Amino acid sequence: MKTKILLFILLLTAELAGAQTKPWTFQQCLDTALQRNITVNQSRMSNELNKVSLAQSKANRIPSVSASANEALNVGKSVDPTTYSYVTEGFHSTNLGVSSSYNLFNGLQNNNTIRQNRLSVQAGQYDIEKAKNDVTLNITTGYLQVLFSAEILAAAKSQEEATAAQVERTGKMVNAGKSPESDLLQIQSQLATDNLAVITAQNQLDLAKVTLMQLMDIPVTDNFEVEVPAMDESAAGVLETNAEIYQKSLAVQPQITGASLRTSASEMALKVSQGAYWPRVSLGANMSSNYASSRKKGGEVNQQGYPFFQQMWDNLGQSFSMGVSIPIYSNRATRSNIERARINLLTTRLNEQNVKNVLRKNVEQTYTDMRASVKKYEATKLQVAAVESVYKNAEKKYSVGVMSATDFLIQKNNFTQSQSNLIQAKYDYIFKRKILDFYQGKAITF
């Protein structure tokens, strides 16, 4: 039995270890970040407050009801609250009451406040979506940076291995007397440079992983790996114009709808403040009763005790009222509130236009960058093909001793740089393409 338990623990530990080292997909990174991101959760909590305000404004249309109870001990000459006559003996009295009031009309302030709060709730929902979009863009940037750094590292290691092979080949040629020792020293120097490039690339990859894990808000671990997806690297041109893409983005980007809803909410706020000029009409109802221990039943000769519940029932009274309040002068408070609401409305309109302007500039910038990245990627691929041919030719010449180490290393470094440029151009193109699709409402996937 102990052996079985130990075996089970070992298998479970191995399974957990394997789960921990399983590469993260882009969707897993994004889902984790959306769940843990503080800004997204703060936006959710802020909108919960908006919902509370909406519920309260709706409840303001319901009549309010309150109850009261009062118990008093009277000593000396006092007024009996049930007979309104003076009593010189000590007694205690009880008063119970229930009252209700209803705002029949207040310049439509309740209805407009409900509309304002409902618009605020809707705008808050779009704020949450905007926060999610920001997280999505950050995760996309971080994820692609990890892939880019990993590919740079792989290229650096490949160059290091090729240089190490050249060091071995050059050493044999030096020993055979076919090459001078200076060639070996130059190749060894290049190997040291390639070793440094590998270390630098590894450091950049580690830093990119740390950045991505921090964006996901998870603890930094050494065994963090991301899945390398199969990406479409075909450099296709943009079919739409930047104006067409901008029009699409206006319809799908949440910050645009949110800004528009806030402008509408400010319009409702102005109507709420203007409603203070209207008269107020309110209804009221009250029911109360009282009891006094000094009160007796019967005439002055045959007085009897007056029980509590019977006395409360006999003293029960109701009243109904309607009141009208006409605002005349409020020390300029109403006018100041209207002016502030009007200024807030103008501010929200400017904010809405600014949000649209920012989106338009971003689309235009990304559109221009996208077109440039396509051209750069295509040109870089042609450059790499040409430089690789020169490098292969130089490698053959160097191997047979008809090219110096200096000339060979120049061609090798040119090829290495062209590879790095190609990787950078590829990921720059992929990122710009994803962002342009994102502005059009397309989900970012890998």
User: What is the structure's pLDDT at 343?
Assistant: 97
Count of alpha carbons within 13 Å of 348, Cβ hemisphere only?
Answer: 24
Q: How confident is the model at residue 422 (pLDDT cuts 50, 70, 90)?
A: very high
| Domains located in the chain, CATH noted | 24-62+107-278+332-439 (1.20.1600.10), 66-105+283-326 (no CATH)
Q: What is the pLDDT of residues 399-415, one digit of tens each?
A: 877 788 888 888 889 99
State the Rg of the chain over Cα. Answer: 41
Tokens 């009250």 sit on residue: 286
User: What is the structure's pLDDT at 5?
Assistant: 47
Calpha distance 378→359 (Å, rounded): 28
Q: What is the pLDDT of residues 64-94, one digit of tens each?
A: 999 999 998 888 888 888 787 888 788 888 9
Percent of the chain with pLDDT over 90: 62
Q: What predicted TM-score, i.e. pTM, was given to this entire model? A: 0.82
Instruction: Compute the Cα dihedral for 136, 139, 145, 151 and give only its sign.
Output: negative
Q: Are 209 and 224 in contact (CB under 8 A)?
A: yes
The SS3 of residue 132 is helix
